[in-house]
Structure formats: C-alpha cells, structure tokens
Structure 1
C-alpha cells in the first residue's frame, strides 16, 4: 500500500473544525469544536473504484492530506479536495454576506464552513435510491450495512450491480442502473462539474430511477458544485420564505457564485434550530 502527503493552500475562509462538524451531521455531540483533530475517512477513488483512506488536518490556510491506498493517490487527493470543497476559490465568499445580511448571519454562526459532499456522484446517486420513500434512518441502516460488509467503504459499482439486495419496489433495478451509469462514466464528478449545473442535472436524470430531486443531489452534493440553486428542497424554500418573504430564485441571485454554499448554510442553521427546539420540547 502506497502513502502520499499533499499540502493544499485553501483560498478563502476555511475551518476544518466547522467543516468536520458538518461532516458529522451537526449532532449535538459534534458541536463543540475540537481544534487540531483530523478528519479521517475511507472512500472509493472514482474511476478506479479502489479503496483509499485520508487524514485531513489544518495548518493555517493549508490543508494537509495524508493518503494511503493501492491506487492513484493524486487522483484520490483531488477527489478529497472536491468532496470537502477545498478546490473552490472562496475569497469572494465574504462578499455574499456583505450583500445579504441573512447570509452574513449564517457565515458568522458557521465560521469557515465549506460544504462537505458525498465521496462521489455515484454514492450520492445510490443514496438517493436507497432513501426514496423510506425514513432516513432506514436508508442509513441499509447503507451502513453495505459499507460494513465491504471493508468500510460503499461497494464499487461492479460489486453493487452483482448484489442480490432485498429491497422494496424497483430499488434493486435502480441501483443496478446507477452502477451501470457509474461504470459508463455518466456520473463522473469532473465531467459534471465542467457542465452548467442545469445541464448536469438534466444529464443525471437520464439514469433510470433518478428524478429531479435525486439529480440535484448528485450534482450539488455528489459533484459538490458550488454555485447552483436547489429547486426541489422544500425545507430550503420554507427557510427562504420565512427569512426573506421572497422567492428562492429571486433571493439567490445575490448569492452568486456561491449559491450552493449559501443554501447549505441556511439548511444547516434551520436543522440546528429545529433540532434544538425539538430537544427542548423533550422529543
């Protein structure tokens, strides 16, 4: 197994501690920032579908990536930068807050947050199928079992399409379609990021079982596209309606070129607020 160290100068605001808390789901136990702790994970390197592991630490404006794996670790490093949003020049992100007081409030509450996506569009697509028409906890349990049974990473596309999964409805068929699309390069993150977001979403919808909501998830959180408006997230549209009293399409113009980032900040604050209210009510 090879080892590789990469240092990445992150442009613009970034806090590993804040981003790691987002990665962990902003559960109450994750909220106290533990400075200096690394973000560690294992994932499949896109295209090769070999396992790699990474430890990410922060040294000022520099992200230090310690990678290990049998495949192309330069490719793996680029993938890590993509799913942690370290590849985005965020120097103009504070300007969005200067134009929009609501976003400024979110930036202050979540200092240095960079949206952390799925490891790949393939995994985002598979998750979208697993989570259709079931509770998130049920989908998470199925995914966790698949990860546990395949060495701590989600099964590679060729493996997934060969599994005899006991899932309801057409989910096994849709997962095979997702696996085939990944093997054919139709869910490649670099390709999707090179397209205009609306075109990328339409392209993903060509995969059987992936509707508009799923396709947006694949592009915005799978490819981690930084500047797109989620049109199918009711919680976001509710939050914008409550905060601004104007439509999302109109409000989000001031968020360019970080519309995804702004949307993620609002969603995180909404989830924390609602979660805190439910905890206070003893639910």
Structure 2
C-alpha cells in the first residue's frame, strides 16, 4: 500500500472541526471511521481506477494536510478529497455574502468555517439517490451500510463493476436502478471532475439520462456529489420551507438566492444544517 501527502492552502474561512461535525451528522454518507481529535478520517472509492483510498485530514492554520493510503492513483484521490471536502473552493468572498444578507450572516456565525462536505463522488451520490427513493433517510442509510458491509472494500462503497454484478434484494426497482448507476459510472457519465467542470444545469441534464435518476436526484448528484458551490436546489421542499420561515412566506428560494451568488449551494447547505440542528 502506497502513501501520499498533500498540503493544500485553503482560501477563505475554514474550520476542520466545524466541517467534521457537519459531516458526522450527514446521514447519507456519515463518517464511519474512528475519528481522532483534530483529524477527519474517511475511506472512499477513487474516481477512474475505482481503488480504495484511506484519508486523514488535519488543519494547520490555513493549510489542509491530506494524508492518503491506497493502491491506486493517490494524486487523483487527493484532488477528489479536496473536492468533496470543498477545500478546492476559493471562498474569500464568502463572508461578504453574510454582510449583505443578515440571515446568511447569522448562519455563518453559528457555523464558523463550515466547508459543505459532500458525497465522496457523483457515483456515490447517485447510488444514494437510488437507495433513498421513497423511504426514510434512516432506512436508506441502513441499506447503504448493509451494501458496504456485504460487498464493499474495507469500508468503501462497492466499485461500479462489482455493483453491476450484484443480485441485491432491495425494495422496488432499487437494484435495477443501482445497476444503471454502475453502468453509467463505468461509461464515464458520472465522472465527478467532468460534471464539476460543466455548468450545473448542463451537468444535471447529463445525469438525468441515467435510468432511475429524476430531477431531485440529478440536483443531489451535481450539488452534493460533484459539490458544485453555486447552484440553487429547486426540488428541495425543506429548503423552501426554511426560506419561508426565515425570510417571510412571500419569498422564494429563487428570489433570495440571488444575494448568495457565487455561493448559492453553500448558503442552501448552511440553512439546511441550521434547520437540522433545531
């Protein structure tokens, strides 16, 4: 097993502790590795070669030190880790969003330095979108953990080739849709870097070609899988309810989010995170 360490300068506010606390409560992909004080650890499937990588992150002031172990392309794994931890985003303008929108300003104060961590990849986000259709989040999280325990590698979600060959006993058409997700990943249609390089709208249109992926799932894959920082979730009812609660019943997400550019996804996640805390 090889090792690789990267020291990444993080531009803008960042707190590893706040980000780890957020991810620990992120049921779709909650951290399962044992966490040491001052460290964020996780294991994930690397886009492209589908190897397993073990990651440990520590914060040294404005520098993120990413230490990886694995048998695959660890340089690509480090880039992927920076992306799903949102460390690759230049957030020097993020505090200014709170200056011009007091609701977001209060959220920033409550969640200092939060970097909205996403799924490890668009592939894992798509798999979650399928597993969570029409069932409770807790049930879907249990299904995901069962799939990992039975068919994954050392805590990582099964690779697409493995997933495509599985005969899974899952509710409804979930097994069929998971096979479609696996095929799409093998075809390159869920390449996270490619989706991130596209406009969010084009990326969503692209992933909607996958069987079982509708509008809500497409948003999840792009906004939390590719971790695009600036797009508005339009099929998230709980966000709409939160905006109505905080801004007034006559305000819409589309309207208030104009103040959040170029961090509309981040602002949306902050509001949802505070709602979950309550």
The two structures have a TM-score, normalised by structure 1, of 0.92
Aligned to 2:149: 148
Report matched runs for 1:29-40 at 5 Å.
36-40=37-41
Task: Measure the CA separation in 2 of the matches of 1:183 and 1:35.
Answer: 35
Q: CA deviation at 1:35?
A: 9.7
CA gap 1:160/1:35 in 2 versus in 1, 3 angstroms: closer
Report matched runs for 1:60-79 at 5 Å.
60-79=61-80
Aligned to 2:118: 117
Task: Measure the CA separation in 1 of the matches of 2:197 and 2:254.
Answer: 23
Aligned to 1:80: 81
Q: Secondary structure at the match of 1:115?
A: coil
Q: CA deviation at 1:134?
A: 1.1
Q: CA deviation at 1:136?
A: 1.4
Aligned to 1:4: 4
Q: Secondary structure at the match of 1:56?
A: strand
Q: Secondary structure at the match of 1:55?
A: strand
- Cα RMSD (Å) of the superposition? 1.5
Q: CA deviation at 1:26?
A: 6.9
Task: Measure the CA separation in 2 of the matches of 1:243 and 1:41.
Answer: 34
Aligned residues: 268
CA displacement, residues 119-153 of structure 1 (integer Å, 9 cap, x when unaligned): 00000000010011111111111110121222211
Q: Is the 8 A contact 1:36 1:58 kept in 2?
A: no
Aligned to 2:22: 22
Q: CA deviation at 1:199?
A: 1.1
Q: CA deviation at 1:13?
A: 0.1
Match of 2:165 among 144, 162, 166: 162
The two structures have a TM-score, normalised by structure 2, of 0.94
CA gap 1:35/1:165 in 2 versus in 1, 3 angstroms: closer
Aligned to 1:254: 259
4+ residue runs over 4 A deviation: none
Point out where structure 2 has 5 or more consecutive residues left out of the alignment: none
Q: CA deviation at 1:115?
A: 0.4
